[in-house]
Amino acid sequence: MKLITEEIDQVEVIVEERNGKKNLFIEGIFLQGEIQNRNGRMYPMQTLSREVGRYNENFVTKGRALGELGHPDGPTVNLDRVSHKITSLRQEGNNFIGKAQILSTPMGNIAKSLLGEGVKLGVSSRGVGSLNKTNEGYSIVGEDFTLATAADIVSDPSAPDAFVDGIMEGKEWVWDGDVLRERYAQKTYKRINTLVDQKRLDEQKLNVFQDFLANL
């Protein structure tokens, strides 16, 4: 199965006060079905509705629907990077409208600061599934699609992020017991993350990519 991520450009920021305490939320479209998105993929509503139903039952209603700040490198939610908790996910036509509370975690506090300074953030769903190429040139997400999180908080991806996302989505993910595992893509991702300055990244990006291709 492939790692599949989809970005929605902008969400609404909501401040709610309860018992004298102000809570920060984001709300907007988290998922979309029956439309070819900018990544060249289309989610059948039957597949998306089924998976959102499972996600709501097993995660949202139990207070376990978490998301991260930034672009995670795999389908697992990393607790040390959690920034928000998804509190609702409902269908409106072919869209699924989500609402998430920003938490007082280290990453949540960063998100609060960014939003407080007027930074426009978006959300990115994350899951795994098969992709079936059509004659029209776009891919249909398969019935085996499994949602890891309805929303990570992201900004517009920079070139290095886009490069990494392309690698991670291009690799196969397999179930090993109850754990999804990847192979060489994780090593490549870590190598890119160690390139701390843009000049060094530009110098070595091609070498890393060629090395990655050689290990496919």
**Which residues are known to be catalytic?**
71, 124
Beta carbons within 8 Å of 71's beta carbon, 6+ residues apart:
5, 124, 152, 154, 157, 161, 164, 165
CA distance 83 to 72: 12
Q: With left for phi above 0 and alpha for psi between -120 and 50, is residue 70 left, alpha or beta? A: left
CB 45 within 8 A of CB 34: yes
Count of residues making up the chain: 216
Which tokens in the block code for residue 13? Answer: 């920021």
Residue with tokens 């450009």: 9
Strand bridging mode 122-129 / 174-176: unpaired
